[in-house]
Amino acid sequence: MTANKSTRISIYYGKRIFDLLTACSCLILLSPIILSVGLIIKANSDGSIFYKQLRVGKSTSKKIIFFKIIKFRTMYQNSERYSGAIWATKNDPRITSVGHFLRKTRFDEIPQLVNVIKGEMSLIGPRPERPIFYNKLENAIPFFSERTYGVLPGITGLAQINQGYDTCVDDVRHKVGFDHSYALSLSSIYSWVVMDINIITKTIVLIFDRKGQ
């Protein structure tokens, strides 16, 4: 079912207002944690506190938008110097001791609130992929690129709460169905609100259960 124009506009502005209010509030409330995590990262290993990485953002069939995602650094500096771009794995030796905790609790995602405020991301949406993997995934997975058509990538989302971090092409393949399901939920205000409440609730549970990687 395709949403009519007025419904799409209402959902767009509803999501944007919710994103701005929540992201700004969270940054203020979490400022002591952000400062503390920054100091711990700096004391734990050499390198910057934050890590920026190019990602694929909102796209259409004619245009792809790129942006730099911001995260707390969880790996050692220059961790891909010799290996090149690869997915993180369980017990990845490139991840610092503090990084393991940040990933388990998803605290490494907190700086992405800045991306949300800038309009590059939403709180909820499909996970933004790295361009270096994009062509490979598009060739390997049917309808992969369509998952972000007209939808901002999110800090959390239906795919993220059901599967977690990607470690291989098969992980991404399993997530595509969730991403398309979320896009379909944006066809009506009711289904969007119900879906987002469900995702937020499960995200909070995941944070306290420390089921990140």
Q: What is the dihedral of CA 159, 140, 121, 65, to 10 degrees?
A: -170
State residue 86's pLDDT score.
Answer: 62
Q: Which pair of structure tokens corresponds to residue 109?
A: 């995602």
Q: How confident is the model over 79-100, as a mean pLDDT? A: 71
Confirm if 112 and 69 have CB atoms less than 8 A apart.
yes
Contact of 117 with 123, CB cutoff 8 Å: no
DSSP state of 52: E
Q: Which residue has the tokens 């062509």?
A: 135
How confident is the model over 26-46, as pLDDT tens digits? 999 999 999 999 999 999 888
Side-chain half-sphere exposure of 103, counting CA atoms within 13 A: 20
Mean pLDDT of 140-162: 84
List all residues 6 or more positions away from 21 whose beta carbon is below 8 Å from its beta carbon: none
- What is the domain partition of the chain in residue ranges? 5-209
Per-residue pLDDT reduced to its tens digit, 46-60: 889 999 999 988 877
Between helix 5-29 and helix 31-44 the angle, nearest 10°, is 70
**How is residue 104 written in tokens?**
């388990």
What percent of the chain has a predicted confidence (pLDDT) above 70? Answer: 87
Two tokens, residue 41: 């990262």
Nearest one of 122, 206, 107, 101 to 164, comparing CA atoms: 206
